Amino acid sequence: MARESESGLPIEPVYGPAALEGWDPAEKLGEPGGYPFTRGVYPSMYTGRPWTMRQYAGFGTAVESNARYKQLIANGTMGLSVAFDLPTQMGHDSDAPIASGEVGKVGVAIDSIDDMRILFGGIPLDKVSTSMTINAPAALLLLMYQLVGEEQGARADQLTGTIQNDVLKEYIARGTYIFPPKPSLRLIADIFKYCKAEIPKWNTISISGYHMAEAGASPAQEIAFTLADGIEYVRTAVAAGMDVDDFAPRLSFFFVSRTTLLEEVAKFRAARRIWARVMKDEFGAKNPKSLMLRFHTQTAGVQLTAQQPEVNLVRVAVQGLAAVLGGTQSLHTNSFDEAIALPTDKSARLALRTQQVLAYETDVTATVDPFAGSYVIEKMTDDVEAAAIELMAKVEDLGGAVNAIEHGFQKGEIERSAYRIAQETDSGERVVVGVNRYQLDEEEPYEPLRVDPAIEAQQAERLAKLRAERDQPAVDAALAAMKKAAEGDDNVLYPMKDALRARATVGEVCNALREVWGTYVPSDAF
């Protein structure tokens, strides 16, 4: 009897040549590093060097997070990945009433350039690649990073890394939006233009399916809605007067990797193929790099369990292997204790060691695209591709990603998928080891890492001191210039950088933009 994949597609017990009848390898596969990039975006893939090993980290104060980053670098991580706390993600200062109880909890608290200096103190920004998971206030954190790099003596054209900067998925699945879609897209276009001129090696956006998957999206939904968002961003930049080949090579993507290894490998291959064809056929991109879907992967946090947490080590290893076999460019492996609390130093190190074992103790890096031509993988790739294209067509029928968001289409589809998963888990049809099968009568005790609640008061004291010391007229003038740019067509990042250099806070900058652009309020219709 055939099983169903996570996307609801049939998986046959046996696959043979009939599964690929009429299948054209030249059309479907190509060569590694060549159109349509099914086999990977680079000819040599990991045979030359492994993927970039990142570890997502950030908690409490900038001092604590800085110490964790230095430990990760010492343990062999190749790139930093910064987690910000919820107030920072929402554009609020740590002493704002709305921030109470959330300061430093799910990431590091960054209120001003003073905090950013501490966060990256002793870390040479001209030599380290940094990814920042920040969306609505992405411009602010990027500019503070640039300012700190310049203070260290690094030129802007030496800075490498990524800002997530994907606000459309916030309206769909995550909720850390600030402004309505139209000004949010304008701000993203300003970031594209700024980075082309000022920080040319920076990846200006990481178009994210990860959070949709964590909210319950199937693999087909994950890539369909992510690529639809990507199309919206490209259209926005082109409408703002940019040539597609001027910014498309710096676009990147962010996907989840689940334990369902075969479908995940198929998903990554299908996503590359769809994107290459969209960029070539719809946008007329000429630069081969504009056709490449380069992506970061994180193992599936939603599949981690608080019960028997050590079993998560096995899950993460399988998920990491799926990402590697699928051709990821960088990878974060979750720590086994993340379903309970913030990772400890030991668990974060074990997560990194998982990647290092995959890279250096297995033979999966010895050859490019080891699953190419597999009956099951190629058929599943075709099936996931077809399902994703069907969903993307429905988004287009609604007028594109933004209009579909306003109709609640993506959110509704994801919620139905999440409900199906919950039903299958509750009934036992979907086995979750340690949760609905193979439970223990009594769980072993575990001591989690806890954030000191005094951090909130400490950050408030730092903010009071900052406001007392800084040149307030200079801050006011810079914020006024930024508001004027926001009201017109000038790029807001240049006056924003002046304001942040003058020690304006994250909350002050975002509040100034709120006064011009307003805030997004979701419709009651969905």
- Tokens representing 48? 């030359």
* Residue 1 pLDDT: 56
| Element holding 315 (H helix, E strand) | helix 311-325
Domain layout of the chain by residue ranges: 3-427
pLDDT tens digits along 151-183: 999 999 999 999 999 999 999 998 999 999 999
Nearest to 142 by CA among 95, 187, 101: 187
Indicate the CATH number of 3-427 among 3.40.50.11890, 3.20.20.240, 1.10.3720.10, 3.40.50.2030. 3.20.20.240
Cα angle 276, 280, 284 (rounded to 5 degrees) comes to 150
Q: Which of 432, 374, 378, 383 is nearest to 223 (CA)?
A: 383
Q: Measured between alpha carbons, how far is residue 5 from residues 9, 125, 187, 324 in Å? A: 5, 43, 38, 20
Strand partners of residue 3: 11
Question: Alpha carbon of 116 to those of 155, 187, 206, 279, 519: distances in Å?
Answer: 17, 22, 21, 36, 26
**Tens-level pLDDT at each residue, the chain (526 residues):** 579 999 999 999 999 999 999 999 999 999 999 999 999 999 999 999 999 998 888 899 999 999 999 999 999 988 899 999 999 999 999 999 999 999 999 999 999 999 999 999 999 999 999 999 999 999 999 999 999 999 999 999 999 999 999 999 999 998 999 999 999 999 999 999 999 999 999 999 999 999 999 999 999 999 999 999 999 999 999 999 999 999 999 999 999 999 999 999 999 999 999 999 999 999 999 999 999 999 999 999 999 999 999 999 999 999 999 999 999 999 999 999 999 988 888 999 999 999 999 999 999 999 999 999 999 999 999 999 999 999 999 999 999 999 999 999 999 999 999 999 999 999 999 999 999 999 999 888 877 777 888 999 999 999 999 999 999 999 999 999 999 999 999 999 999 999 999 999 999 999 999 999 999 998 754 4
**How far apart are the C-alpha atoms of 356 and 83, rounded to whole Å?**
22
Angle between helices 493-501 and 506-517 (to 10 degrees): 150
Rounded to the nearest 10 degrees, how much is the dihedral formed by the CA atoms of 327, 328, 333, 339?
-100
Alpha-carbon span 390 to 382, nearest angstrom: 12
Burial class (CB in 10 A: 0-12, 13-18, 19+), 444: exposed
pTM of the model: 0.94
